[in-house]
Structure formats: structure tokens, C-alpha cells
Amino acid sequence: MKNNLFDRFKPKESKFFPLMTGMAQVIVVASDLIIECVQITNHTEAVEYYKKIKEQERKADDIQNQIFEELNETFITPFDREDINHLSSTMDDVMDLINSCAKRIMLYSPKVMPEASLRLAMFVRESAGFLVKAIEELDVLKKNTNRIKEYCEQLGVVEKKADDVYEHFLIDLFENETDAIEVIKLKDILHELERATDAAEAVGKIIKTMIVKYS
């Protein structure tokens, strides 16, 4: 699969941006699915949604492998190899956490999904939206610095909101759920959504660091 020498010297920056945008879009699709997934009412649906989300997770893995292959075969990259790696692997963390939430819903079979799970899933979706926007403008990083920075800051804002919803869900859970095993299950399931917004914020921080470095 090696390119000839001439190809390897040609700047192929254009490949990295569509791949990374593709990964961000996969996260958007998975976020839309997790919003439906937290509203399921029986185990059959849980299995179905987990399968659909798992499919997206595999797509994200494929894209990350393609990015890795590209890095191997390209001499001139738009950013340092390590930065591209770091960025795509942290985006992959967002995907993994959405997937892990769906998996836990299927595996743990909680008695009922709390309302907070829907609010958290919607924050994950909101984060995914800002991710796509920030990533889509990466190729003109120098031009749109302020706008990209704004998207990254919004990722921080959403993370803080998700954190609050998660914490208040916990207060409510501790006060009203007497079955300790149910407490453990729901705490663990919703935690993955809160962590997904953390990971999205981490992507924002990486991009902000790249702004410092490259603009």
C-alpha cells in the first residue's frame, strides 16, 4: 500500500481534515442514537440501540486507523504527527464513552432510566455539534482563530452544565432510591455521559493548545 516516493513528498494535508471531520460526524450520529437509547423501555430495544451505536464506534475506529496509516505514509502533515494523534484519539474517547453508556444500559438492565439521562444525552449531542464545527474549521485555523476558540469554550460550558445535572441526579438518587444496587447501576450508566462531555471538553483544550502552537 506504500505510495511511490513522489506521492509521499506531495503535501496531502487535505486527507487529514476530511478524516477528522468524518470522525466528528460519527460522534454526532452516535449522540443522536444515545438520545433515543436512554428513552428505551425494554431490553430488546436496549440491545438494538447498543448494536447501532457499536457500529458507529467501529466506524470511528476505522477512521482512526486510516489517520494512523496516513501519518505513516505522509511526509508533510498539516500539524505535528503527535498533535493529530492526540486529537483523534481523544475524539475516539468521546465515542468510546457513548458506546460504553449504551453497553451498560443493555448489560445492567436498570429498572427505569431517570430523566437526567435524557438531559445528559442532549448535552453530549450539543458537545458533538461544537466538535464538528471546531474540527471543520481546523484547516483554516489561522483565519478563524477566534471562532474556533469560541467553540472550544462552549465545550467547557456544556461540560459544566452536564456536571451539574449529573451531581443533582446523584443527590436525588441518594435521597430517593433505597435499592443500593440500583444506585450503583444508574450512577455508573449516567457517569459515562458526563464523562463524554469531559472528553469533548478535552478535545477543545487540545485544539486550543494547537491554536497557541500554530497560529
Residues at the interface with its own copies (CB under 8 A): 68, 71-72, 81-82, 85, 89, 103-104, 107-108, 167-168, 170-171, 174, 178, 180-181, 183-185, 187, 205, 208-209, 211-213, 215
Q: Minimal distance in Å, beta carbon 144 to its own copies?
A: 15
Closer Cβ to its own copies, 68 or 132, answer by number: 68
User: Can you tell me the distance from the alpha carbon of 15 to that of 67, in angstroms, rounded to the nearest whole number?
Assistant: 8
Collapsing DSSP to helix, strand or coil, 140 comes out as: helix
Contact call for residues 132 and 204 (beta carbons, < 8 A)? no
Q: Minimal distance in Å, beta carbon 183 to its own copies?
A: 6
- The alpha-helical segments, DSSP class H, found in the chain are 5-9, 13-37, 43-73, 81-108, 115-136, 145-176, 180-214
Q: Minimal distance in Å, beta carbon 12 to its own copies?
A: 15
Q: Minimal distance in Å, beta carbon 209 to its own copies?
A: 5
Closer Cβ to its own copies, 5 or 180, answer by number: 180
What secondary structure letter does DSSP report for 143? T
Closer Cβ to its own copies, 40 or 129, answer by number: 40
Closer Cβ to its own copies, 39 or 77, answer by number: 77
Closer Cβ to its own copies, 112 or 171, answer by number: 171
Give the count of beta carbons closer than 10 Å to the beta carbon of residue 178: 7
Quote the cell numbers at residue 41.
423501555
Q: Minimal distance in Å, beta carbon 196 to its own copies?
A: 17
Q: Measuring CA to CA, which residue among 90, 94, 12, 83 is closest to residue 57?
A: 94
Torsion of CA 88, 90, 95, 101, to 10 degrees: 170
Residue that has been written with the C-alpha cell 456544556 in this structure:
158
Q: Computed over its alpha carbons, how large is the radius of gyration of the chain?
A: 19
Q: Minimal distance in Å, beta carbon 27 to its own copies?
A: 19
Closer Cβ to its own copies, 25 or 165, answer by number: 165
